[in-house]
Amino acid sequence: MGEVEKTFISGLREKLVEDRVIDESQLEPDFAKEIVKHGGKDVMTCLQCGNCTGVCPISLKIDYKTRSIIKFCQFGLKKFTLETRWVCATCYRCYEHCPADINPAEVMIALRHIAIKEGVIPPFIKMAASNLLKYGQSVKPDPEIERVRRELELVDMPSRDKEYAKVVREINLLVRSTGYDKLIGIESEVKT
C-alpha cells in the first residue's frame, strides 16, 4: 500500500501509511547471542534505565540514543541497528555509569563488526581503509596539516620518511593475508 490521503468524515485530511507494526518477520532471533559472539556483553540484562543516554556526549547532539539501540538489540531489530552506529566515539562513559554492568560502547563495536560482515559499510570506512593501503595511515596526508606541524615545531609525520614505503608494503601484505581487503571491498587497491 502506498501513501494515500484520505478525507475523514469531519473533513480532516490525514496521510495513511503502511501499517506501522513491527511483526516477527522483522525480528532477528538470537541477535543478542550474535552480539555476544562478536565481543559484546549480554544486552538482555539491560534494565533500560537510560543512564547511558544521559551521559553520552553524542546523544546530546544528534538523534542517537544509546539506550534505544540496546533496546533494538534486545528485541532483535537488527536492521535498525546496522546503519548509524559509527557515531559512537567509544568514550566508555556509558560503561562507567551502567548499573547493569553492560558495556554499551563494546556493544556498539560488536554491532560494527556485524554490520561490516553483512556488507553494510559506510563510504568513509572504505576511504579510511584505502588511505591505509596508500599512505600507511587512515587519514590522508594533508599539506596544510603538515605546514601547521612545522610551525608548531612538531616532528614530521612518519609518512614523509622515505623508509616508510617499506612499512606501507608490509601493511598491504597484512591486509591481503588477513582478508581485510575482501571484507571491506578494496581488493583491487592492494599492492603486494
Contact positions toward another protein, by CB under 8 A?
A: 47-51, 53-55, 59-60, 65, 67-68, 97-101
Q: Please report, as a single letter, which amino acid is at residue 89.
A: A
CA 112 to CA 13: how far, in whole Å? 42
The smaller minimum CB distance to another protein, of residues 43 and 55, is found at: 55
- Closest distance between another protein and the C-beta of residue 41, in Å? 11
Residue with cell 546530546: 60
DSSP 3-state assignment of 129? helix
- Closest distance between another protein and the C-beta of residue 47, in Å? 6
- Closest distance between another protein and the C-beta of residue 96, in Å? 9
- Closest distance between another protein and the C-beta of residue 149, in Å? 36
The smaller minimum CB distance to another protein, of residues 100 and 127, is found at: 100
The helix, strand and coil proportions of the chain, stated in percent and rounded to the nearest 5, come to 55, 5, 45
Question: Could you tell me if residue 65 is left (phi over 0), alpha (psi between -120 and 50 degrees) or otherwise beta?
Answer: beta
The smaller minimum CB distance to another protein, of residues 71 and 134, is found at: 71
Contacts of 145 (CB under 8 A, 6+ apart): none
Residue 134 near residue 168 (C-beta atoms within 8 A)? yes
The smaller minimum CB distance to another protein, of residues 74 and 159, is found at: 74
- Closest distance between another protein and the C-beta of residue 44, in Å? 14
Question: DSSP code of 139?
Answer: S
The smaller minimum CB distance to another protein, of residues 51 and 130, is found at: 51
